[in-house]
Structures are given as C-alpha cells and as structure tokens.
Structure 1
Amino acid sequence: MFNIILLGPPGSGKGTQAELLVKNHNFFTISLGEIFRKHIEENCTNKTFIQKYIDNGELVPDNLSFALLEQFIQNTPKGKPILFDGFPRTMSQAIFLNEMLNKYHTKIGCVILLDVAYETLLQRLKERAIIQGRADDQDDQKIKTRMHIYAEQTLPIVRYYQEQHLLYRVDGTLSTDQVTKSIEFFFDRLL
C-alpha cells in the first residue's frame, strides 16, 4: 500500500490537491481538519472543545486527534492507500502516525510538501474566508497564530521526513494544474 502525507501551511492548496489525488489515484482521504469541522456541524460530544481550539487558530490536543484518527484508520477499506491531508502537524503526531501504521502493517510511502510564500498564503486565506465563510480564515490574529504554530511545530517534521528520504517539495504557488503535474511526476518516479 502506498500511503502519502500532503503537508503545507494553511492556504497552500492541500485540500484542492487532495481532492485531485483521490480522483486520480483512488486514495482514501483522512483530513483531520475536515473531521473536526464535521464533528462541529453534527453537534458531536466534543463540538465545543474542538470549536474553541479552531476558533483560536490552535491545534486540537493530540489525545483527541489520535483517537479520531485511529477510528478513521480502522474504517479504511482494507488494502486501500491512504492520503493524510495536513496530518501530522507536530513531531509527536508524526511518531504516533508511524507507530499506528506499523500496527496495521503499513507505512508512509512519500510526503509531499507544498511550499508557498507567506504573502501568497495570506491572500489565499482571505479569499477562502469570503468564498467558504470559514471563521479560522477571517481574522488576521487567528491567521498569524496558525502560521506561527505551523512554523514552530510543523516545520520540524519536514526535516524528520527529509532525513527518511520521504520528502518531496512542490512549488505551491504554481497553478493548480502545474502543482498536480509536479506531484504526478513524483508518483511516476516512485511507482
């Protein structure tokens, strides 16, 4: 099974590329952000707890993230490759993911990092706030908090996956089609 991780800062295009990868390669997608938003929409038990962290632009604590993630992994159709959209975001999450995948006799095949300049990210998030109405994209302070968390907690895992020779960088400022072609280029070399 060829599982992949799609990394990048908020607004880098992870969601768009994840949709295309699912369409083109039949991945089972796990997006923790999407899982959290669904829990909020469906008024689940942890709604208020999750909402508080998202509204402040912060990461939901690992214990809840891990429990929800493992639940989704267990429900993945057997033998179907998984695309992790925006997870892991911290070293503890990366280590947890490796250990959990080992438990299910699978592993990560590659990690794709969408590189995008800060100014471009701000512009994209503002546009997304208007189009999708996402609260976490509408406030400058929340955006800065999310970017700070990304720089402090997520960038170290880039080195972690680079040292394992799993990391592939893609220029996320290119058009959607060009980014997709760059990702497909990596896939062709790996498969």
Structure 2
Amino acid sequence: MRIVLVGPPGAGKGTQAAYLAKNLSIPHISTGDLFRANISQETELGLEAKSYMDAGQLVPDEITIGMAKDRMEQEDAANGFLLDGFPRNVSQAVALDEMLQAASMELDAVLDLEVPEDEVVKRIAGRRICRNDSSHVFHVTYSPPVKDGVCDQCGGELYQRDDDSEDTVRRRLEVYHQQTEPIIDYYKAQGLVTTISAMGPVAEVTQRAMEALPSR
C-alpha cells in the first residue's frame, strides 16, 4: 500500500501517520525525519540542505525529492509506504509520479485530513510547553494543567512557542493553501483522493482513514 497523507498544520497528520503505518505494516516517511536523518548522517543531500537552512533559505525541491527517493528505495519500503509532508507542492507530486512510474509502481490512495481553520488555530495556539522538559505538553482547552501556567509533572513554567502563536499559525495556513492544497486537485484528477474529517477522537479518525483505503 502506497499512501500520501495530506492536511493542514494541526490536522494530526503525524499522529495518524504513525497509527496507519503500524496498522498497515509499512514505514512512515515524514519530511521532518528525512531532513533530520540526512543532516545527522551528513549525507551529501543532508549537507546541501543544511547549507540552505543555515543561510535561512528554503531547501530546493530537488534536494527534498532526492531524500524521498533514497528513502523509498530502502528495503523496508518495498511493499509500500506512507508519505507525510511529501509531496509538499505540485512539482514534488509530479516528481513522485515520475519516480513511481520508473519503478513500475503507483499510489494507492491520497488521504486528505480535513479540519476547519478555526479549529486548527485553536489546536495549535492553545498548546503550552514546559520550559524544563519539552515532552511535557499541555493544552489550554483539551488538556489544561491543574494550575495555570505550571507543569503538572515537574512544576516548570509553561509557555507558548513562537511557532504556536495565532499569527504564525495563520501564516502557516496561508502557505498551506498556496503551496500544498493544490496537490489535492492534482490527485483528484487521478481519482486517488478521499477526504476524511480529522475531528473527534484519534481512534475514530484512524478508523475512518482505514475504511477509506482500497482493499488489498
């Protein structure tokens, strides 16, 4: 099973990708993991990507595409994979199609996780992180601490990351609408897209996603 997972920031793609990949026994390939692995291993692509990132520039598509290609050619991806964060734009989607065609493969499904924009802002802007341990995460609405601004686990100060501010979230949504959302129409033309509500408990969203996949 070869799947692309699409959705705005805050839709829960990472969470759903992990569950789906486990259920389907295929690797979860995320753009963030690709970059971290290539940079830490100091691969040629990783060093190139780091040079752009250190200069505050966007990493060119061809570097991201090269990392994805290398990862999809690994042995554990022979029977399929779940892509999360790639392709990020139509150019990357076209490159992915060309890669798969060259290997006599094709995508089985594109799952579009749908969340209202106001809910995205609420989910992300409500997050609070512990300054002592970033793995201690709370939410002002969904999982508030017992005492406002104080971590339940260690008593550390809770704060909102700059990336989680409402203004930043809305800018990230604009980028998503401009760059990534067009790939949904690209894949709709191929009859691959199923739109799934990402509202509700995680397990229910996973169930909807599993039911939307073609039978194997």
TM-score range normalised by the length of the shorter chain: 0.7 to 0.9
Distance 1:125 1:94, change over 3 A: same
Is there any run of 5+ residues in structure 1 with no aligned partner, and where?
54-58
TM-score relative to the length of structure 2:
0.74
Deviation string, structure 1 residues 23-56 (Cα, Å, up to 9, x no partner): 1111112111222244566675233523635xxx
Structure whose residues are more often helix by fraction: 1
TM-score relative to the length of structure 1:
0.83
Equivalent residues of 2:26, 2:77 under 8 A apart: no
Equivalent residues of 1:5, 1:111 under 8 A apart: yes
What is the letter of the counterpart of residue 159 of structure 1? D
- The answer to which structure, 1 or 2, has the higher relative contact order (CA under 8 A, 6+ apart) is 1
Distance of 2:184 and 2:199 partners within structure 1: 19
Shift of residue 175, structure 1, vs aligned partner: 1.5
Is there any run of 5+ residues in structure 2 with no aligned partner, and where?
138-159
Matched, 1:160 2:194: no
Counterpart for residue 7 of structure 2: 8
Counterpart for residue 173 of structure 2: 147
Equivalent residues of 1:161, 1:167 under 8 A apart: yes
Matched, 1:72 2:98: no
Shift of residue 129, structure 1, vs aligned partner: 6.2
Counterpart for residue 157 of structure 2: none
Count of residues paired in the alignment: 184
SS class of match (1:107): coil
Equivalent residues of 2:10, 2:120 under 8 A apart: yes
Shift of residue 3, structure 1, vs aligned partner: 0.3
Equivalent residues of 1:171, 1:179 under 8 A apart: yes
Counterpart for residue 16 of structure 2: 17
Taking the TM superposition and a 5 Å limit, the aligned residue runs for 1:22-41 are: 22-39=21-38
Counterpart for residue 62 of structure 1: 61
What is the letter of the counterpart of residue 124 of structure 2? L
Shift of residue 156, structure 1, vs aligned partner: 1.3
Distance 1:167 1:80, change over 3 A: same
What is the letter of the counterpart of residue 170 of structure 2? K
Distance of 1:5 and 1:38 partners within structure 2: 20
Percent identity between the two aligned chains: 32
SS class of match (2:181): helix
Distance of 1:135 and 1:95 partners within structure 2: 35
Deviation string, structure 1 residues 88-112 (Cα, Å, up to 9, x no partner): 1211011000001112221100000
Matched, 1:175 2:197: no
